[in-house]
Amino acid sequence: MNSRVDRLVQGWVEQGLLPGAVLDITLPGGVRFQKAYGSYSDETKKCSIHLDTLFDLASLTKVTATLPAILLLAAQGSISLDDPVHNYLPAFRHAQVKVRHLLQHASGLPPDLPYRTRFEKRPTILTEIFEKELIFQPGEEMRYSDLGMILLGTMVERTAGKPLDEFVKKHIFNPLGMQDTVFNPGPELTARVAATEAVNDTFIRGEVHDEKSFQLGGVSGSAGLFATADDLTRYARWWLSPESPAIIPSWLMQEAKAYPVRGRGLGWEVIHDPKFVPSCGMSWPAGSFGHTGFTGTSLWIEPQRGLSVVFLTNAIHYGRNTKIRELRSILHETVLSTVGPA
């Protein structure tokens, strides 16, 4: 497994398809492959990527921060997944939309707001979302939406009475030993953060790449989290063994993967129907679950084998016209083929 996958990623870096990456493949029994590849520019020099490099996770924030926060509040009885969103966010006027709909990207909200650069002034993002009309009836379709996840992050803050970043650090990341998983990494971490895209001839480094999250102060339910591959592997192993530590009841974590709608569970992509092609490719078995991020990140988990694959890249360092979707699929397919049967 190691040599074949290693050659694949190393070849992509040498061909200029990726600036660099960290790959972390883990199986039960202490079987693990970890390697860092390539480099990035800080405008003055090339900086090598290391195993402890932090990456902008982009939409992996949705399942690494927002999802467990909502599940924890549900376990505590502070939120019900089948309550209307309006119960927690009174300004949200679509009474038929439930919390579960937001998690499954089945709310009817559009995928996004009109694009604006990170420096353009705009009205309050929440107000813009509250004013949006639904584009389909809740539960009837699945349309991946940043807007629903932003609402969920706000719901956590208003229900818990503290910012999302503080809540997940205290209740999720610290118990799991995820010490390098943060929103808004401080100056002390900047040297370890892989730069993403160049904007106005300056590479974004240590600030979230996503424009909406940036305008929300770097903390939102849809994007903003930075982490190392090792921390994400810790997170993946928890989903495979949720009783250690028992932060959220295992039955509730199981529910997140149990009733997918058009390829989506609660937050996660979940493989359940060949009509819906997952980001990991076609060969992964039913019940596998994962997620990706726009910057070039991905996490996939295969419960039958106890397999987790973390692939963190800063693919958009070369611009947004990347082949990362194709590459991620090839990578995950190759990993599974080398692991062998469950």
| Cβ–Cβ < 8 Å for 183, 133 | no
What pLDDT was estimated at residue 122? 79
* pLDDT above 90 coverage of the chain, percent: 89
Q: Which CATH class is domain 2-61+163-339?
A: alpha beta
User: Residue 272, Cβ neighbours under 10 Å: how many?
Assistant: 21
Tell me the domain boundaries of the chain. 2-61+163-339
Would you place residue 143 in the very low, low, confident or very high pLDDT band (cuts 50, 70, 90)? very high
pTM for the model stands at: 0.96
Place of tokens 């679509």: 94
Please compute the mean of the pLDDT values over residues 277-301 and round it to a whole number.
Answer: 96
What pLDDT was estimated at residue 203? 95
What whole-number distance in Å separates Cα of residue 213 and Cα of residue 116?
Answer: 12
What pLDDT was estimated at residue 120? 85
What pLDDT was estimated at residue 1? 56
What pLDDT was estimated at residue 119? 85
What whole-number distance in Å separates Cα of residue 324 and Cα of residue 315?
Answer: 7
Between the CA of residue 244 and those of 50, 170, 206, 229, 241, what are the distances in Å? 28, 17, 31, 20, 6
Place of tokens 């609660």: 266
pLDDT in tens, 295-321: 999 999 999 999 999 999 999 998 999
Helices (H), 121-228: 125-130, 146-160, 164-168, 174-176, 211-215
For 218, list phi and psi in degrees, rounded to 5: 90, -5
Please compute the mean of the pLDDT values over residues 212-217 and round it to a whole number.
Answer: 95
Of all helices (H) and strands (E), which one includes residue 63? Answer: none
pLDDT in tens, 41-97: 988 899 999 999 999 999 999 999 999 999 999 999 999 999 999 999 999 999 999
What pLDDT was estimated at residue 177? 97
User: Residue 243, Cβ neighbours under 10 Å: how many?
Assistant: 10
Helix, strand, or coil here: 135?
A: coil
For 80, list phi and psi in degrees, rounded to 5: -110, 130
What pLDDT was estimated at residue 43? 84
Average pLDDT of the chain, as a whole number: 95
Say which amino acid occupies 66: T
Q: Which long-range contacts (CB under 8 A, 24 or more apart) does 199-208 make?
A: 199/117, 199/118, 202/43, 203/40, 203/41, 203/42, 203/43, 203/317, 204/56, 205/42, 208/56, 208/183, 208/184
CA 10 to chain centre: 24
What pLDDT was estimated at residue 205? 95
Of all helices (H) and strands (E), which one includes residue 73? Answer: helix 67-75
What whole-number distance in Å separates Cα of residue 156 and Cα of residue 221?
Answer: 9
pLDDT in tens, 222-266: 999 999 999 999 999 999 999 888 999 999 999 999 989 899 999
Please compute the mean of the pLDDT values over residues 84-111 and round it to a whole number.
Answer: 97
| Cβ–Cβ < 8 Å for 26, 237 | yes
